Structure 1
Amino acid sequence: MLVTGLAGPPESRTRESAHVIVCGNEKGGSGKSTTAAHIAVALLRAGHSVATIDLDGRQLTLTRYFENRRRWSAKARLSLPIPHHFHVPPAYKETVSAAESEEFRRLTDGLADIENSHDFVVIDTPGSDTFLNRLAHRIADTLVTPMNDSFIDFDVLARIDPISNEILETSQYANAVREARRERRSADNSILDWVVVRNRLSSIASRNAHRMDACLRNLSARIGFRIAEGISERVIFREFFPIGLTALDDFEAHVLGTRPTLSHLAARQEIRQLITALRLPTDAVGRRRADIRRQFLETSGRPLLLPDIFAK
């Protein structure tokens, strides 16, 4: 299991284990791969060494994203930052336990090669409950859960009363994250920072958007995650995939293959705001926040020292 480490430019610190960012949600189509690619490129452009792992052995969307990026970089003669990437193919064995053991071995072997040589590891997970998906959640330092701004996606986190919007019960996925947090705290006394990212937000306020906002804030206070705004419903994010570009890359015509638009600039601003909201330990402020969190963990198990007001 990876141990939480402080991240920063390589020349400014002694390297420790990488900070692990997992993009996880048991519902497909929520934007996990797009979010993972943008986080990885943002960190690369900030001067950090980044590795990416694709655990969706069937779809391989993140793998294809960086393959397209490498191909377009060569074709357009561009120098695009690309992370060290590998994927874990599904194992086919006679028993489920044997297959899971083989997948575990493949993942741990891959992690052993990168965890001490990179500042960040970004993991993309499948939109289903799999062994590797559960394992990734248990080694995460930061869990990013993208979700479309819809009650269909909200149902992955919790069930609500349709009239009062009261939270009736948390979902299986939310309970699984809670269990992953408990196991991580027990294993190495670390806190899993959970951020739910609202994707495909409409630019027009609606009754549904207000209800969604209220329910998310209610659930956030109940089970302990932070809320961030992510990717809007923009066609350009779909256009980026075939050439492997992100909203953080240059927008000259020879880079995009077309003239940039205002939508490109708006998309870049969205991604920058998302990266800021994740509060990753990328600078002095982030490292100081990580230090405070670690100090809190070290003292949280000790009894409080209070003045003895009953002393004679």
Structure 2
Amino acid sequence: MTAQAGRKPYFIVLGNEKGGSGKSTTSIHIIVSLLRDGYRVGAMDLDARQGTLAGTLAARQAFVESKGIELPLPAFRPVFRSELDNRQEVEAQERERFDHAVSELVEGGAEVIVVDCPGTDNFLSRYGHSFADTLITPINDSFVDFSMLAKVEPDNHDIIKPSIYSEMVWEARKTRFNRDRGKIDWIVMRNRLAAVEARNKRDVGETLESLAKRIGFRTLKGFGERVIFRELYLQGLTLMDVKEANIGIAMGLSHIAARNEVRALIAAIKLPPAMAGDRAELVA
């Protein structure tokens, strides 16, 4: 699987097991940002029946067609779960479907493949995780979402043990290493951060940093709770499209801050040097 001149595509996987954390918003902003940086981007939705990413990209295509405006679009491949009964046959079919989608994207020239995983634990999700060069796990900034990563003591927030999801990521890391000696760079992205300093925010941050050292991930300040994200999402648009799409939104300080959050996320992804050297700055 090579994009060009023997180069393996770079996989960015979006995964968690809890809805409402901003995973889909994060996915579309990564895809569009990289497209605007000049990358050839492929996108895969492993929850094709739910079709959240598929729906977002369809809305984006519909906007392009209805407005007659050219906006960057990725090559897209949905991957459906198997409906067979035998577990071994299910896994074999889902593995084949995933590999076939990747091959098609690579043959089309994809340098980066963004994989949106379902919010459930199944073979297809685990298989997708095992391809990650960078795994991004968005969580809301609360101990409710923290439980997806680890179980903690309610009184002092001491870590009791990693969660089932964290153990799954560990297994994905072992699978990845055994396949090609590759490593997964795991980023936990704290979304919907409150604008003011609060005790809960501080406690979550401190506990996350403690867990990060224990199970091996980086933390990143993610997207704030901003209306602009919800306004754009329904049309498949991102903050990178506001000026070009001409949808009547004036860029205020809140929008600029939101764009900076997107910039920080893209900068945190450790793309290979040869590819990173060709990147252009995001348009201000």
With structure 2 as the length reference, what TM-score do the two structures score? 0.91
| 1:74 correspondence with 2:65 | yes
5 Å-filtered alignment, 1:1-312, equals 14-115=5-106, 117-251=109-243, 255-281=246-272, 282-284=275-277
Equivalent position amino acid for 1:161 in 2? E
Which amino acid counterpart does residue 276 of structure 2 have in structure 1? Answer: D
Preserved contact between residue 198 and residue 229 of structure 1 (Cα < 8 Å): yes
Q: Is the 8 A contact 1:248 1:271 kept in 2?
A: no
SS at match of 1:143: strand
In structure 1, C-alpha distance between the alignment counterparts of 2:247 and 2:255, rounded to whole Å: 10
Instruction: For structure 2, list consecutive stretches of 5 or more residues without a partner in the other structure.
Output: 280-284
Alpha-carbon deviation of 1:248? 1.5
Q: Does 101-110 or 205-214 show the bigger shift?
A: 101-110
Closer, same or farther: CA 273–87 of 1 in aligned 2, 3 Å: same
Aligned to 1:296: none
Cα distance in 2 for partners of 1:195, 1:256 equals: 33
Alpha-carbon shift at residue 257 of structure 1 (Å):
4.4
* 1:140-170, Cα deviation, whole Å (9 max, x unpaired): 1111111110111100111111222211111
Partner of 1:248, secondary structure, is: helix
Partners of 2:278 and 2:8 in 1: CA distance: 19
Name the SS for the 1:162 alignment partner. Answer: coil
Give the structure with higher Rg (CA). 1
Contact 1:15–1:119 (8 Å) recurs in 2: no
Q: Which has the higher contact order (CA 8 A, sep 6+)?
A: 2
CA distance in 2: counterparts of 1:193 and 1:164, whole angstroms: 29
Alpha carbons of 1:78 and 1:111: their partners in 2 closer, same or farther (altered >3 Å)?
same
User: Any unmatched runs of 5+ in structure 1?
Assistant: 287-312
- The SS at the match of 1:243 is coil
State whether residues 28 and 126 of structure 1, in contact with CA within 8 Å, keep that contact through their aligned partners in structure 2.
no
**How big is the shift at 1:102?**
2.3
**In 2, Cα distance between the equivalents of 1:199 and 1:206?**
15
Q: What secondary structure, in the 3-state scheme, does the structure 2 residue paired with 1:159 have?
A: strand
In 2, distance between residues paired with 1:145 and 1:192? 12
1:261-299: CA deviation from partner (whole Å, max 9, x where unpaired): 43322211110111112233342499xxxxxxxxxxxxx
Instruction: Tell me which moved more, 239-248 or 46-55.
Output: 239-248
| Distance change >3 Å, CA 19–CA 96, structure 1 → 2 | same
* Separation of aligned partners in 1, 2:216 and 2:115: 22
Output the amino acid matched with 1:230: G
* Aligned-residue RMSD, C-alpha: 2.0
Percent same amino acid among aligned pairs?
A: 41
What is the TM-score of this pair, normalised by structure 1? 0.83
Q: CA deviation at 1:77?
A: 1.8
Q: Report how many aligned residue pairs link the two structures.
A: 276
Deviation at 1:173, TM superposition (A): 0.7
Contact 1:150 1:212 in 2 (8 A): yes
**Contact 2:194/2:225 (8 A) holds in 1:** yes
